[in-house]
Structure 1
Amino acid sequence: MASIQLENVSVSFPVYNAATRSIKNRIIQSATGGQIRSDSTSQRISVVQALQDINLKLEDGDRLGLIGHNGAGKTTLLRVLGGIYEPNSGRVSVAGRTVPLFDISLGMDQESTGYENIILRGLFLGLTRREMKARMDEIADFTELGDFLDLPIRTYSAGMQMRLAFAVSTSVVPDILLLDEGIGAGDAAFLHKARERLARFTEKVSIIVLSSHSDELVRNMCSKAILMEHGQVVHAGPTEAVLERYKAMRGF
């Protein structure tokens, strides 16, 4: 069975050659989620504390919404769950095949063809070459890219690359789906097609973690939620209760 457990997870990033006490940094700190502090070993290094002491436990059937303003730590948390970021401290335990539907062009090579990138992206997601070859025709048909699949993807528009990456990422149902509402897939007709595919896809997933600014989307998709502020969880519980807390914080 799929499961996620985080124990006292913290993530920080050093920022070199920054004036740690500048007016600019004070403005950044007040406007974004990461807390900025000086490294005690050097006045030329600032440290952005992106996550601090995150504890989280999810099991089969859980649908979790991540709520908070830009920079609150939602994307960093998704990247930790996806294995993209290693925490500086704490423990992360994830059981089950995980597919991240954010930064979905990761694992793709600009100089390789569309067909070659189907294989590469699949390998990045933990599938075998044989599994990807078996899915090749279905993925190619879904992209609607035709002969462009024989060309290097550096010749693609951003929308075309997104189509390709989306088609590969949703070609196999994972145990755990990490989702960012900001994902796009090109023109309106294809976007409708992508949403239908994603709806069928999410019905079969064991655990979903969704980062979103849309109250409606979180309400419809998630049974529980956490509210993040400055890289910390400030409230957790049933979705509606967390959304109400967020509204109160925003003064609505």
Structure 2
Amino acid sequence: MGKLVKLVIKDKIAEVTIDNPPVNALNAQVIQELDETVEVIKGEEVGAVIITGAGEKAFVAGADISQFPSLNSDTGKKMVQTGQRVFDKIAALPIPVIGAIDGFALGGGCELALVCDIRIASEKARLGLPEVNLAIIPGYGGTQRLARLIGEGKAKELIFTADAVMAQEALQIGLVERVVPAGETVNAAREMAQKILSKGPLAIRKAKQAIDEGLKGSLRDGLDIEADLVGELFATEDLKEGATAFLKKRKPNYKGL
């Protein structure tokens, strides 16, 4: 794909690898290549996405701090708005996005992890938002997505103190969904993606849509969205195939129709 962001699509799984040594920092080129990569994925027949970082040192260890002194109020705002736009595009993909986190996921790297639907961390992973150490705050969605994921109080603690958490604590507070041995995150993500791909593809898309859209409003709003989407699924061939396969005790053959 790009020089710093690699894309491999195999068996309907898109693997996106950020490869920007030594710590896979999110500079302007990485952000641009991520944007381009998402556009490619949107045009392919893909059922799941895995995002990871090259090597075992870092998933993504933050933004490129060397650019900060040259930024002013306007250029700094434009920089974070660009990052937010690209991260929003990743989050808006209608298919599951799995983060395979090995090593450091700090600052922008933690924010990229937050964009994923599911996060799998290695036992040596370390996640945090240390921006206040540099007299700045998270700008790629960290103040918003972290609070929504783990709760307001814990999010404020991590952001105000700039403390990073190890994988097991991240699991306990709901920052990641699974912890695996070092070096096994991508394999674990592939296994999960393959399991997801064995399910009804339209149902997976509608489930993600129901959760994401439902969380934006009240419980009643969410229930209405859920009912609408269930109704849409009852009109699909996949629903009939799934029910028939269950009753006949055979494996379903879903076609996404």
What TM-score do you get using the length of structure 2 for normalisation? 0.27
What TM-score do you get using the length of structure 1 for normalisation? 0.28
Larger relative CO (CA 8 A, sep 6+): 1 or 2?
1
Q: Which has the higher strand share?
A: 1
